[in-house]
Every structure is written in structure tokens, then in C-alpha cells.
Amino acid sequence: MHSYRWCGSMPSTATATTATTMIRRLCCLQSVSPFLPFSSASTTTKKPLVFLGAPQVSAIVLDKLLNASASPHSLFEVAAIVTQPPARRDRGKKLALSPLATHALDRGFSPDLIFTPDKAGDDAFLSNLKALQPHLCITAAYGNILPTKFLDIPSLGTVNIHPSLLPLYRGAAPVQRALQDGVKETGVSLAFTVRALDAGPIIATETIQVDDQIKAPDLLELLFHKGSELLIRELPSILDGSARLKAQPQDDSKATLAPKINSDESWLSFDEEAYVLHNKVRAFSGWPGTRARVLVVEKNVQ
């Protein structure tokens, strides 16, 4: 499929209309020539960047970027947002926007600048991205693989906020796998994106101690708060190019993987040690949760 953009007149906040109405306005198929939505690029010296994300934690980073870009001394502005297409969510299976798209509209972000390609390599989407001439792309839990033809577009590269101390826990579920392993320390990494999985040079990291009671959703939120602060601190060096020079290559020999969680993993086995079960409950809190089969024997042995 092609990428879509919002079109039609819209109020400044998503609360003024229903999600169904907004989804219907994801209608103007970009299939021929790219449009040029970012008209202010020619009238400002701020460098345009594009932000990619999808879940609610991505909104934490977007808020930091929008707030920082509003400063008259800011070096950048958010030229566009890229997120997942509307999907059927929750029990009602109603078509809904991604949490990031909803939050962006609530912040008054232009719906014409919210892109929802099925894949980051879609030709129509890449044409629109090139038209923006972004200096930098930033990803935070976007969830799609970025092909080379995407990575070649931003002149300063693409930077990812990854909630682990890379090269540890590369992959889709770093926070969950770290908690499942019972780690006492973790952190967040700011790294350039390359074609290999979470293997790009590291710009900066921040380490935190892990409470043995914290659950995955809370730790994930905490790490993205830390990651957004780290991003804002490092953006000047990223935008002037010096971050590329100071970024340190990862030691692949120390890499560990954090594969995507399968719902079949949610079962608890009481043959395992209590601390193993405790860590699994913490790790899988949120999704997929944990469950167990319990045999109840009554007094008459039924």
C-alpha cells in the first residue's frame, strides 16, 4: 500500500472530533507527486527533523521535542511525524489511531504532517520525506525496520532512543527481557541507526538502578523520560555533526538479544524458583500478562 497523509480542514485538537472522523480523513493517497507541506522551512534557520514512533511512550519524547523547539533559541523544529497506520485495538476492535498520532493531534500538530505508511520503504512516503529535506530523523519505539533508502535521506542520519545499555538487549523487547533476567541495572542509549539491529555507534547513555518491584510499563516509561532528556542534551552536538565524530562503536562480542515476546510465554510453571516467577510477572506486566493452571482438589478427592 501507499503512504497516507491527513487532509481536509481540522480543528487544532483531537478532542474536537471523534477518532472515527479523524480516521476517515486519512484519505488523500499520495501516489503521484509529493506535496510540500513544510512551507516554513524556507523562512527559518531552524533545522527540520522528523520524529518516528507509535506507542504512548513515544509521546514522552515528542513532548520534549515540541517543547524544546518552541524556544526562540531552538536549533530545530519538528517537520513531520511518522507513525503506524490506524489499527483495530482493544476489545471492540474499532479502528483507532496510534497513541502517538492521537497525542500529536491533541498537541495541535498539523494533521497534514502526520504520515502513516505501511512500511518505511513505501515509495510514496519516501517521496514526501525527501520533500521535507530533513536534517535528522529520530526514532523512539517506531516498530518498523528502516531500509537503506530511508536512512539515506536525512543528511545528519537517524538517531534512535533504545531502552537498554547497548549492546545489551538489542531487539524488540529490551525492558521486558531485562526484567525477566532480574537485572539490577539498566539504562537508555542514544545511538545512530544502521541496517544491523540496534548496532549503530552510541552517542550517549544513561544508567539507572532497577528496583526489584518495578514492572515493565513503569520502567519503560521511566527510561523514555530519561532518553528524551538525554536526546535534548545531545541534540546540539548531533545537529552540528560533532556527535558523529564522538560516537563510539558497539562491542558486538558483548551483544545480547531481546526477542519479541510470544503470548505462549505467559504461562507460569510452579516448578521454577519463586524469584524466576516474580521476575516474569514483572516483565510481562502490561502484555501479555502471566497466567497459571491450578488444580483444585476437594475433600472428597474430586
pLDDT tens, residue by residue, 42-83: 345 899 999 999 999 999 999 999 999 999 999 999 999 999
Residue 216 near residue 285 (C-beta atoms within 8 A): yes
Find all residues with CB under 8 Å of 301, minimum gap 6, and list them: none
Domains present along the chain, CATH in parentheses: 47-258 (3.40.50.170)
What is the tens place of the pLDDT at every residue in 250-275? Answer: 999 999 999 999 999 999 999 999 99
The one-letter amino acid at 163: P
Give tens-digit pLDDT for 123-172. Answer: 999 999 999 999 999 999 999 999 999 999 999 999 999 999 999 999 99
pLDDT band at residue 300 using 50, 70 and 90 as cut-offs:
confident
What digits encode the pLDDT tens for the residues 92-131? Answer: 678 899 999 999 999 999 999 999 999 999 999 999 999 9
Tens digit of each residue's pLDDT (9 = 90 or more) over 177-220: 999 999 999 999 999 999 999 999 999 999 999 999 999 999 99
